[in-house]
Amino acid sequence: MTKEEELAAVKAAYDIIDGGRMLDDAALYDLAELETAEGVKALLDTAADLTRRLGRNFDSCSIVNARSGRCSEDCKWCAQASRFHTGCATYDIVDRHEALAQARHNKAGGIKRFSMVASGRSVKGKALDEICDILKEVKETTGIETCASLGLLNREELEKLYASGARRYHCNLETAPSYFGHLCSTHTQDDKLATIATAREVGFAVCSGGIIGMGETRRQRVELAIKLREAAPVSIPINILSPIPGTPLENTPLISEDEIVRTVALFRLAHPSVELRFAGGRARLSEECLAECLRVGLNGGITGDLLTTTVSTIASDKAMVEKAGYIF
């Protein structure tokens, strides 16, 4: 496309969203192919305008790694898969007192949500009972909103989790449908979508996103954004791959900051009203990149203990988002 055609495509996309309609797949793929500086700038500014309309409240959440390592699945990006030798810590269900202490700390730091995340294909039986008991006590003693990410649960298991007081369930689609099989063979996106659909039926709001920078193309990142519409999430975490020694993706080249910003903007246009949140892998990003991501789409974030990746503190995240004009 010429510069004029690119600018016209961005304006048309803005008009569609401004009219309360959803961009179709073809329009999103066209926007992914913009090449001129003027076209890309128009794309980013359009996403920024849509983000401002959502208000200035920043949705914060934190997670505790409720069970670590010894996972039977073969997700190529993950340090917790038992078949990879990563030196990942391994333990069963986290100590109740430790989880409660983290929840109290997060609540005191102004965090709105607290989630328990466990390794493995699913959490069942006694382990699920333990997590539900912890979540119930967290909710009753701190008042913080509770969430969980426990893999591929069935209806009975999700109903038990809902009874604990948790109201948001997390299950990432991870990557584009056309790329998922290249990265994982032990479960499918259809398995994930089935759990997500059941979670919604039980009453949960859904948090579902993915990881970028795993060798996928820009078009495949848009494909993920489109596929996520099937999950109907209220929250989309955007993770950036941190290549972990011992995993099959350990030598994957790092995705550029410009590509990260553009991805955030495209996700905002694909999902004009959801919470797009910072998640894992952002420790390496410059302040300028983080600020631009906040401008063009991100209005939420995960802070605290981020599984096997290290990021900034609650205090530094709060300072960053408030500098960007958000209320933490």
> Domain of 80: which CATH number?
3.20.20.70
End-to-end CA distance of the chain: 40
Residue 119 is assigned to a structural domain of this protein:
yes
Domain check: are 215 and 309 in the same one? Answer: yes
For residue 207, which of 219, 215, 218, 199 has the smallest C-alpha distance? 199
Q: Quick one: 254 and 319 in the same domain?
A: yes
Nearest CA to 86 out of 98, 77, 94 is that of 77
Q: Is residue 77 part of a domain?
A: yes
Q: Given CA atoms 193, 198, 199, 201 in this order, what sign does their dihedral have?
A: positive
What is the rounded CA–CA span in Å between residue 85 and residue 80?
A: 9
Residue 52 lies in a domain: no
158 and 258, same domain (yes or no)? yes
Domain that holds residue 121: 57-323
Both 134 and 31 in one domain: the answer is no
The reply to whether 328 falls in a domain is no
- Say whether both 140 and 186 belong to one domain: yes
Q: Is the domain of 36 the same as that of 63?
A: no
Same domain, 113 and 258: yes
Residues 20 and 125 in one domain: no
In a domain, 94, yes or no: yes
Same domain, 15 and 163: no
User: What tokens does 41 get?
Assistant: 């700038």
Q: What is the pTM of this model?
A: 0.95
DSSP helix/strand/coil, 35: coil
Domain-embedded: residue 161? yes
Q: Are residues 27 and 107 in the same domain?
A: no
Does 40 share its domain with 62? no
Residue 320 tokens read as 């960053």
Question: Looking at the domain assignment, is residue 116 inside a domain?
Answer: yes
Residue 279 lies in a domain: yes
- What angle do the packed helices 287-296 and 314-323 form, to 10 degrees? 60
The residue ranges of the chain whose pLDDT is under 50 are 305-310
Q: Is the Cα dihedral 48, 50, 53, 57 positive or negative?
A: negative
**β-strand partners of 81:** 71
Tell me, yes or no, whether 143 and 88 share the same domain: yes
Distance CA 54, CA 269 (A): 13
Amino acid at 315: A
Beta strands in the chain (DSSP E): 59-67, 113-118, 145-149, 168-170, 205-207, 210-212, 235-240, 275-278, 300-302
The confidence score (pLDDT) of residue 311 equals 57
Buried b (16+ CB within 10 A) or exposed e, 202-218: bebebbbbbbbbbbbeb
For helices 155-163 and 125-142, the axis angle rounded to 10 degrees is 30
CA angle 291, 292, 294 (to 5 degrees): 65
Q: How many domains would you assign to the chain? A: 2
